[in-house]
Amino acid sequence: MKVLNALLLSRRPALAFVLVGLFWGCFAAYIPDLKIRLNVSDATFGLLLLCNALGLLSSMWLAPKIDNILGNRGLQIGTALFAATFFLPGFAPGAFTFGLSMAIVGAASGVVDVLMNARVSELEQVHKRPLMNGNHGMFSLGYAAAAVVSGFAREAHVEPGVAFLIVGSLILGLSSCLETKIYKSPTAKPGSFSYPTGPILLCGLIVLVAFMTEATVETWSAIHIERTLMGRAAEGALGPAMLGITMALGRFFGQSVSETFSETKVIICATCVTATGAVIAAWAPTPVWAYLGFGILGLGVSVIGPLGLALVGKYVPDHLRTEAISRVAILGFAGFFLAPTMMGLISEMQGLRIAFLCAALLSLFSIPLILLLSRFSKV
């Protein structure tokens, strides 16, 4: 009941999370096809995915100003533009155009990511209760559903461009429901506070580690299953789908847990679970074992990123919330594009098994970061 009530209170940004999840689930399932069509190495493909970060980071930096200009329709307009760019990577004929299209998609995605997280953080302060995990759980549900359906679409030889057009049209149609009220906070008097650089940096690094770990599975799990473990296309698509399903469960469960236990305890426990899952996936002898590893990883990592985004809203003055979330998002969401590049380079040199072991090691950095953050008090 707590989860349903939380989603009811934040139903419009929750829908935005679902729509963004549909995009990334479909894209993740089609990554093997995109890589084959481009005919590039693992390292080159990872670098092409990094182009997304160029657009993402620039738009996230500008998101607070865009938010002020567009007002209540910001999330609605941003999601519509995001949907309109979705087809581009699916029809890109070569590496250059693919990289350019990913930069455009990243720019649109960055604005939506900041605005929907800012709206949830505002609602958390209004209703005095955590809402972030439930909303990110809706992202995972959309992600998992799109990944599963896209896996069957691949088996039916549906081309990436066609699949992306269908999903983009669905997102565009539902974006009309996303006009969202903005809760304005009073402006602080000059000199009444010090800029909260420490909490913003630490929260950003926590989200960065979490999203880098998550992105390793989103981007490379299908390839790991199909190439390392010799699975079929539908079996490969179940890798990111398993991540999405267990992350949804973890986030819905985390919605209740975060109302009972401190964020520090939750993140430490979740980090240990995440690392365990990554190790199992790395040494999996069959696709079934890989699914188990990805599932355990998904349960653990599911709550870390949302808690990092929620925490910055508690550690900064109210009038700086949207700006702080945009700065945390710049650091954190870059992980979705730094991780594929890192994994591609490691895979090129040592193979995907070693790459997933590195992901396990990376996830453990969340523990010292949350312990440092716990020393701060709200500004």
Domains: count for the chain? 1
Per the model's pLDDT, the better-predicted residue between 210 and 377 turns out to be 210
Residue 352 within a domain: yes
Model confidence at 185, pLDDT cuts 50, 70, 90, reads low
- Report the alpha-carbon angle 29-140-149, nearest 5: 35
* DSSP state for residue 170 in the 8-state scheme: H
The per-residue pLDDT of the chain, averaged, comes to 83
At 305, which amino acid appears? G
Instruction: Check pLDDT > 60 for residue 6.
Output: yes
Q: pTM of the predicted model, to two decimals?
A: 0.73
Mean predicted confidence (pLDDT) in 152-172 = 90
Kindly report, residue by residue over 199-254, the tens digit of the pLDDT.
888 998 999 999 889 888 877 788 888 888 888 877 887 787 788 788 888 888 87
359-360-365-370 Cα dihedral, nearest 10 degrees: 110
Choose between 279 and 125: higher pLDDT: 279
pLDDT at 379: 43
Averaged pLDDT for residues 160-188: 80
Q: Which residues, including other chains, have CB under 8 Å from residue 369's CB and lie 6 or more apart?
A: 202, 205, 206, 209
| Percent share of the chain, pLDDT over 90 | 19
Q: Which of residues 213 and 347 earns the better pLDDT score?
A: 213
pLDDT at position 192 over 50: no
Question: What is the Cα–Cα distance from 20 to 146, expressed in whole angstroms?
Answer: 10
324 in any annotated domain: yes
Asked if residue 3 is part of any domain, the answer here is no
Query: 96: buried, middle or exposed (CB in 10 Å: 19+, 13-18, 0-12)?
Result: exposed
Domain that holds residue 43: 11-181+196-373
Share of the chain above pLDDT 70, in %: 94
Helices and strands (H, E) in the chain, number of each type: 18, 0
Residue 190 counted as domain residue? no
321: amino acid identity, one letter: R
Is pLDDT of 89 > 80? Answer: yes
User: Taking a C-beta distance cutoff of 8 angstroms, is the pair 160, 167 a contact?
Assistant: no
Question: Would 36 be classed as within a structural domain?
Answer: yes
Does the pLDDT value for residue 363 go beyond 50?
A: yes
pLDDT of 270 = 93
Residue predicted with more confidence, 322 or 358: 358
Identity of the highest mean pLDDT range in 86-90, 247-251, 277-281: 277-281
Residue type, 149: V
Return the pLDDT at 329.
Answer: 77
Q: Are 343 and 218 in contact (CB under 8 A)?
A: no
Q: To which H or E segment does residue 192 belong?
A: none
| Residue located via tokens 């010799």 | 230
The 3-state DSSP class for residue 4 equals helix
The total number of residues shown for the chain amounts to 379
Q: Identify the pLDDT of residue 179.
A: 78
Within a domain: residue 2?
Answer: no
Residue 175: inside a domain, yes or no? yes
* 93: enclosing H helix or E strand: none
Q: What is the distance between the alpha carbons of residues 106 and 55, in angstroms, rounded to a whole number?
A: 5
Tokens 């087809």 belong to residue: 87
> What average pLDDT score do residues 124-141 get?
80
Question: H-type helices in 41-196, by residue range?
Answer: 42-70, 74-85, 87-91, 95-127, 132-155, 160-174
Residues 304/366, Cβ–Cβ less than 8 Å: yes
CA distances from 236 to 216, 226, 263, 334, 356 (A): 14, 5, 34, 25, 16
End-to-end CA distance of the chain: 33
Three-class DSSP category at 379: coil
- Is residue 120 situated within a structural domain? yes
Distance CA 367, CA 349 (A): 28
**Tokens (6 digits) for 272:** 């240990």
- How deeply is 336 buried, as exposed, middle or buried, from its count of CB atoms within 10 A (0-12, 13-18, 19+)? buried
Q: What digits encode the pLDDT tens for the residues 291-311?
A: 999 999 999 998 898 888 878
* Calpha distance 153→223 (Å, rounded): 17
The predicted structure's pLDDT at residue 368: 93
Return the pLDDT at 377: 56
**What is the pLDDT, as a whole number, of residue 357?**
92
> Using an 8 Å Cβ cutoff, are 231 and 225 in contact?
yes
- What CATH number is given to the structural domain containing 174? 1.20.1250.20
Tokens representing 327 are 């700065």
State the average pLDDT over residues 7-34: 86
